[in-house]
């Protein structure tokens, strides 16, 4: 993907640029009507950067740290694209405190020690003011000590298992309870589901998520029970046996957290085995398949499944329409946008808001300013940063369509509070 694609500005958010003001009185007059417009001259570098970060009189440098090679490139490419879009849009509005954002992109190469090494390089050598990055929990765990030692600031986009709250990370994706509980309650209330078969790839996120799901089903949902729980190694491609087991147990709901290449195999074989998900017998509910994954699975193979996320590309609101249009204009019409891609897009915007509230790029001040930061232009609607560094956001359920998009069938009325250490679910 080339870097020189035309960059669309966020139509309603464009403020006049610094050059325009210098150009003449008309522009100056215009700037008076946009009081939030900030000029670099008002913020001397020495005052807003006391810890030696990579901030000059007209630029600020941040890091992007994702895998663009290796297994995880499949998933992380969308995040990189969203972050670059957000950065370009912020720059088109005049940047942060009058400074344009420049980025240094490093490749984690789907290898966790490489992530740690590149994080150290970004923080120690490049002195970046913040980092947008990581995708898997394993990569986040690998960079965490580096960020805490060097007091860096990471915006982490993926929905994940929770059980973490670092002063050096803002989690823009959902932690497990935000993604799981509302979906289970919904399927129980509207579909009358009583029996659940839990299925997942064998690593920390599916296991922790299913643990929370099981606790919720057994302790908080009356008359409901788990009839099977099963894990398959990452990369497993043969699901015929488990499909037969599911037939035997006849659950109301298959709760699937299968990831990566296994995902494609699982849904193709489910369909080939004659289980028609549009009949909802059993109904399939997943928290691991976004629009991005459907591209690999094929819409016709997953039609009729339900997914529980906070964002779907098909969300019907003005913010999202602008976001989808801008994303496609920058990266191509055939792009699809999944939950994590949207969460990655929030990162630069939340950082911008926190820096402006703090009036400084210093990590300590940005951290202090972060709780309570809200972003009203979020494609998912409205989000706010909680004291625990996670986001308040809504939970939604989407029904997979043959064209690879989800139709939103449910959303929580209120924002769901993030609870990374849920009591009663451990």
Partner 1 sequence: MFSGYSMSELGAIFAMQGFAGLILFSVFVLMALGLAIIFGQMGVINMAHGEFMILGAYVTYLVSNFFAEHLPGLFGIYFFIAMILAFFASGLLGMAVEWAMIRHLYKRPLDTLLATWGLSLILQQVYRSLFGAREVGVTIPDWMMGSLPVTDMIEVPINGIFVMVLAVSISLAVYFMMFRSTWGKQVRAVTQNRVMAGAVGIDTEWTDRLTFGIGCGVAGVAGAAFTMIGSTGPTAGQLYIVDTFLVVVFGGAASLLGTIASAFSISQAQSIMEFFLSGSMAKVLTLLTVVGILMVRPQGLFALKLRK
Least distance between partner 1 and beta carbon 65 (Å): 16
Sorted by sequence, the CB contacts under 8 Å of residue 28 that are 6+ apart come out as: 21
Q: What span, in angstroms and rounded, lies between the C-alpha atoms of 405 and 408?
A: 10
Cβ proximity to partner 1: between 15 and 228 the closer is 228
Q: What span, in angstroms and rounded, lies between the C-alpha atoms of 208 and 186?
A: 20
Using the rule CB under 8 A, is 68 a contact of partner 1? yes
Using the rule CB under 8 A, is 268 a contact of partner 1? yes
Helix segments in 1-99, DSSP class H = 18-23, 25-32, 45-48, 73-92
Instruction: Identify the CA nearest to 47 among candidates 59, 57, 61, 36.
Output: 57
Stretch that binds partner 1, among 85-93, 152-160, 226-234, 405-413 (CB under 8 A): 226-234
Least distance between partner 1 and beta carbon 401 (Å): 14
Using the rule CB under 8 A, is 242 a contact of partner 1? yes
Stretch that binds partner 1, among 216-224, 259-267, 351-359, 378-386 (CB under 8 A): 259-267
Residues 283-312 that bind partner 1 (CB under 8 A): 292-301
Write the binding mask 167 to 206 for partner 1: x where contact by CB under 8 A, - elsewhere: -----------------------------------x----
Token digits for 189?
A: 């209330």
Strands 169-171 and 59-66 turn out to be unpaired
Using the rule CB under 8 A, is 274 a contact of partner 1? yes
Q: Can the peptide bond before residue 199 be classed as cis, meaning omega within 30 degrees of 0? A: no
Among 238, 278, 376, 426, binds partner 1 (CB under 8 A): 238
Token digits for 190?
A: 């509207």
* H/E segment holding residue 63: strand 59-66
Cβ proximity to partner 1: between 91 and 110 the closer is 110
Least distance between partner 1 and beta carbon 78 (Å): 8
Q: What span, in angstroms and rounded, lies between the C-alpha atoms of 286 and 306?
A: 6
Among 99, 100, 271, 377, binds partner 1 (CB under 8 A): 271
Using the rule CB under 8 A, is 225 a contact of partner 1? no
Q: What span, in angstroms and rounded, lies between the C-alpha atoms of 101 and 182?
A: 37
Q: What span, in angstroms and rounded, lies between the C-alpha atoms of 37 and 356?
A: 11
Least distance between partner 1 and beta carbon 141 (Å): 21
* H/E segment holding residue 104: strand 100-107
Least distance between partner 1 and beta carbon 67 (Å): 9
Q: Is there a contact between 347 and 132 (Cβ–Cβ < 8 Å)?
A: yes
Q: How many residues line the site for partner 1 (CB under 8 A)?
A: 45
Cβ proximity to partner 1: between 300 and 318 the closer is 300
Contacts to partner 1 by CB under 8 A: 68-71, 73-74, 77, 202, 230-233, 235-238, 240-245, 247-248, 260-261, 263-265, 268-269, 271-274, 292-301
């Amino acid at each position: 993907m080339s870097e020189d694609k035309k960059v669309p500005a966020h139509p309603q958010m464009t403020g006049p640029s610094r050059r325009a003001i210098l150009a003449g009185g008309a522009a100056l007059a215009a700037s008076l009507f946009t009081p939030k417009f900030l000029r670099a001259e008002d913020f001397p570098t020495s005052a807003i950067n006391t810890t030696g970060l990579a901030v000059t009189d007209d630029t600020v440098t941040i890091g992007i740290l994702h895998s663009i090679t290796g297994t995880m490139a499949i998933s992380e490419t969308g995040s990189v694209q969203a972050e670059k879009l957000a950065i370009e849009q912020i720059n088109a509005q005049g940047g942060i405190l009058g400074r344009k954002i420049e980025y240094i992109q490093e490749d984690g190469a789907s290898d966790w020690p490489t992530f740690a090494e590149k994080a150290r390089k970004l923080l120690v050598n490049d002195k970046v003011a913040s980092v947008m990055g990581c995708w898997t929990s394993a990569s986040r765990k690998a960079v965490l000590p580096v960020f805490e030692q060097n007091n860096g600031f990471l915006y982490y986009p993926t929905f994940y298992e929770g059980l973490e709250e670092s002063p050096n990370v803002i989690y823009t994706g959902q932690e497990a309870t935000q993604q799981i509980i509302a979906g289970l309650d919904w399927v129980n209330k509207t579909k009358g589901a009583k029996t659940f078969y839990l299925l997942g790839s064998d690593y920390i996120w599916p296991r922790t998520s299913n643990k929370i799901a099981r606790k919720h089903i057994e302790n908080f949902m009356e008359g409901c029970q788990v009839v099977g729980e099963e894990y398959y190694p990452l990369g497993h491609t043969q699901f015929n046996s488990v499909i037969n087991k599911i037939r035997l147990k006849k659950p109301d709901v298959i709760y699937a957290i299968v990831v990566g290449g296994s995902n494609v195999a699982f849904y193709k074989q489910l369909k080939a085995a004659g289980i028609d998900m549009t009949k909802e017998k059993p109904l399939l509910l997943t928290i691991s398949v976004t629009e991005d994954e459907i591209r690999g699975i094929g819409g016709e193979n997953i039609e009729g499944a339900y997914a529980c996320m906070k964002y779907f590309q098909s969300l019907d609101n003005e913010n999202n329409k602008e976001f989808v249009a801008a994303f496609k204009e920058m990266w191509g019409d055939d792009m699809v946008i999944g939950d994590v891609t949207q969460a990655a897009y929030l990162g630069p915007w939340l950082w911008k808001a926190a820096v402006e509230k703090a009036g400084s790029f210093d990590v300590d001040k940005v951290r202090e300013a972060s709780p309570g930061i809200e972003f009203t232009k979020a494609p998912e609607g409205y989000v706010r940063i909680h004291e625990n560094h996670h986001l308040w956001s809504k939970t939604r359920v989407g029904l997979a369509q043959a064209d690879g998009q989800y139709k939103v069938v449910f959303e929580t009325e209120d924002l769901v509070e993030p609870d990374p250490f849920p009591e009663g679910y451990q």
